[in-house]
C-alpha cells in the first residue's frame, strides 16, 4: 500500500506470511510470558487470539508493535527479520531503533485505553502521523482524515477534543487514526474491554466493516467471542505462553478439542 515506502521484497517476500514468530520467548524476570512460540499469520488473514489473562496474547501484539523486545527467537514480517537485523557476518542481531522505525510503519495498533492525544483535536489526532511521518500534504491528510472519520461515524466530531467524547467515540477515532497510516497489519488489543457495554456494539460494527471491506491483515486480542466468530479466519487459544489449539472459528467455538479451550469457553460464553 505504501508503495514508495515499503522495502523491496526479498525473493521469498511475495509468498511469505505477513507475520512469523520463530521460537519466540518473552520473559519478564522469572516470568515466562511466551514460551518458544511458533506462529504464522498469512497476508490478509484475520486471526483472533483468545485465552485467559496473562497467557501472552497481548504480548504478541506488543512485540509486533515494537513496544517490547523479544528475549529469544526472531519475529519476521513479510518474510524479513523484524525484531532482528543482519549484523556482522550476516548473523542476526537484535534490531536497533533505526531498523525498527523503518519497518513498524506498516503496522498499526488500537489500544484498550484508546491513547488518543488529549492535547489535539480529533482531526489532528488523525492527521498527525500522515503529515509528520508519511510527509503527506496537510490538506490532503485532512481530506483523508475526514473520510476516515466518516467511516467510523464521527464526521461531525472533527473539531472536538478527545476528552469530550464517550469511550466508544474515542475508540472509533483511535481506529481512524491507526488506519490513516494505511497499515498492512492492524493490531487490536482488547479494544472494547474498557468500554461501557452499550458502546461496544458501535465499535465492533466499525471493525466488522473494516474487516469485510479491506484486505488488511488483522490480529486481535478480544473477549468478544461473537466478534471473533464474525471476522476471524482462524482462532488461536492461548494458555501459559503457548498455543494450545488453533482452527477456524466454527470449530474452536463449535467443537473445541482441547480441554483447556472447552474450560475457557465455558467460562466466558
Partner 1 sequence: MWSWETAREGLPLILHGFGITLLATVFGSLLAVVLGLGIAVLRRTPSRWVTLPLRAAVEFVRSTPVMIQLFAVWVLVPGLDPLVIGIAVLGVHYATYTSEVYRAGIDAVPKGQWEAAVALSLPPVRTWFAVVLPQALRKIVPALGNYVISMFKETPFLSVITVNEMVHEANRFGSDHFAYLEAFTLAALVFLVASCPTSILMRKLEKRLAH
CA–CA separation, 220 and 47 (whole Å): 6
Q: Which three cell numbers stand for residue 34?
A: 511466551
Q: Which three cell numbers stand for residue 212?
A: 469485510
CA–CA separation, 64 and 45 (whole Å): 16
Cβ distance to partner 1 smaller for residue 164 or 212:
164
CA–CA separation, 173 and 212 (whole Å): 19
111 near partner 1 (CB under 8 A): yes
Q: Pick from 32, 115, 214, 246: which binds partner 1 (CB under 8 A)? A: 115
225 near partner 1 (CB under 8 A): no
CA–CA separation, 42 and 15 (whole Å): 9
Residues in binding contact with partner 1, number by CB under 8 A:
24
Q: Backbone phi, then psi, for 180, in 5-degree steps?
A: -60, -25
Q: Which residues contact 45 (CB under 8 A, 6 or more apart)?
A: 18, 217, 218, 233, 234
For the CB of residue 11, give the shortest distance to partner 1 in the complex, in Å. Answer: 27
108 near partner 1 (CB under 8 A): yes
For the CB of residue 154, give the shortest distance to partner 1 in the complex, in Å. Answer: 18
Residues 64-103 that bind partner 1 (CB under 8 A): 65-67, 101
Cβ distance to partner 1 smaller for residue 113 or 229:
113
Cβ distance to partner 1 smaller for residue 12 or 119:
119
Residues 143-202 that bind partner 1 (CB under 8 A): 177-178, 181
Supply the Cα-derived Rg of the chain in whole angstroms: 19
Task: Please give the residue ranges that form the binding site for partner 1 (CB under 8 A).
Answer: 65-67, 101, 104-105, 107-109, 111, 113, 115-120, 128-129, 132-133, 177-178, 181
Amino acid at each position: 500500500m505504501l508503495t514508495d515506502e515499503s522495502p523491496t521484497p526479498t525473493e521469498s517476500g511475495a509468498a511469505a506470511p505477513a507475520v512469523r514468530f520463530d521460537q519466540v520467548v518473552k520473559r519478564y524476570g522469572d516470568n515466562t510470558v511466551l514460551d518458544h512460540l511458533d506462529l504464522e499469520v498469512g497476508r490478509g488473514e484475520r486471526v483472533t487470539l483468545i485465552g485467559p489473562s496473562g497467557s501472552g496474547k497481548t504480548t504478541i501484539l506488543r512485540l509486533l508493535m515494537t513496544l517490547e523486545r523479544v528475549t529469544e527467537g526472531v519475529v519476521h514480517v513479510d518474510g524479513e527479520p523484524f525484531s532482528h537485523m543482519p549484523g556482522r557476518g550476516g548473523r542476526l542481531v537484535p534490531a536497533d531503533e533505526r531498523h525498527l522505525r523503518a519497518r513498524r510503519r506498516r503496522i498499526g495498533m488500537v489500544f484498550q485505553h484508546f491513547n488518543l492525544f488529549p492535547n489535539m483535536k480529533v482531526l489532528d489526532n488523525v492527521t498527525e502521523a500522515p503529515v509528520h511521518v508519511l510527509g503527506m500534504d496537510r490538506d490532503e491528510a485532512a481530506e483523508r482524515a475526514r473520510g476516515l472519520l466518516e467511516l467510523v461515524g464521527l464526521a461531525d466530531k472533527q473539531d472536538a477534543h478527545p476528552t469530550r467524547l464517550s469511550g466508544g467515540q474515542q475508540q472509533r477515532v483511535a481506529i481512524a487514526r491507526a488506519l490513516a497510516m494505511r497499515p498492512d497489519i492492524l493490531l487490536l488489543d482488547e479494544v472494547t474491554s474498557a468500554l461501557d457495554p452499550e458502546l461496544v456494539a458501535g465499535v465492533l460494527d466499525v471493525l466488522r466493516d473494516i474487516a469485510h471491506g479491506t484486505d488488511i491483515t488483522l490480529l486481535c486480542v478480544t473477549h468478544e467471542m461473537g466478534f471473533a466468530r464474525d471476522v476471524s479466519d482462524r482462532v488461536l487459544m492461548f494458555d501459559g505462553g503457548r498455543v494450545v489449539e488453533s482452527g477456524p472459528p466454527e470449530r474452536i467455538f463449535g467443537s473445541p478439542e482441547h480441554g483447556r479451550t472447552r474450560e475457557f469457553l465455558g467460562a466466558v460464553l
